[in-house]
Amino acid sequence: LSLLNSTLIKIFLQVIFGSSSGQLLTQSGAQSVVQGQTVSIKCKTSQSPTWYQQKDGESPKLLFQYVGSRVSGTPTRFADGGSNSDFTLSISGVQAEDAAVYYCQSSITVIQTDFNLVQKPLTLQTRSLTVNLN
């Protein structure tokens, strides 16, 4: 790709409400970034989120299990962070192959009566990154 090519990344928001707790994830509006620059995807939730990437026609890929826990195979240009209720997935030096749907999942640990731990998803938020090369 030519250095003069730019990548426009549009971030769309879809919010799915958690039925059991009423917890909600929120995110700011659409953003754009030039190829090679940085984009930040914000996730507001009371739980440390799990981040996924889903490319067109593929299954979701786990990027970060929780804040600071990069999954093997996640490129180093991807970083997560945040605390309290404000969390961010950042992509530095955005590449064309970063075009995907990004999921921010908030979950809570539920202790069952037999003391087995299970993860119960509460809410899920989606950002779609569309890459247009000029």
Would you say the pTM of this structure is higher than 0.95?
no
pLDDT in tens, the chain (134 residues): 433 344 444 444 333 333 334 455 565 555 566 778 888 888 888 778 888 888 878 888 999 988 889 999 999 999 999 988 888 889 898 887 887 778 888 765 433 333 333 444 444 455 555 555 55
Contact 104, 49 (CB under 8 A): yes
| Number of domains, the chain | 1
**Residue 29: other Cβ atoms inside 10 A:** 7
| Residue ranges making up the domain that contains 92 | 7-133
First-to-last C-alpha distance (Å) of the chain? 10
Structure tokens at 121: 């998803």
Provide the residue type at 105 as one letter.
Q
In a domain, 87, yes or no: yes
Q: What pLDDT does residue 129 have?
A: 59
Residue type, 12: F
CB 43 within 8 A of CB 89: yes
**Is residue 2 situated within a structural domain?**
no
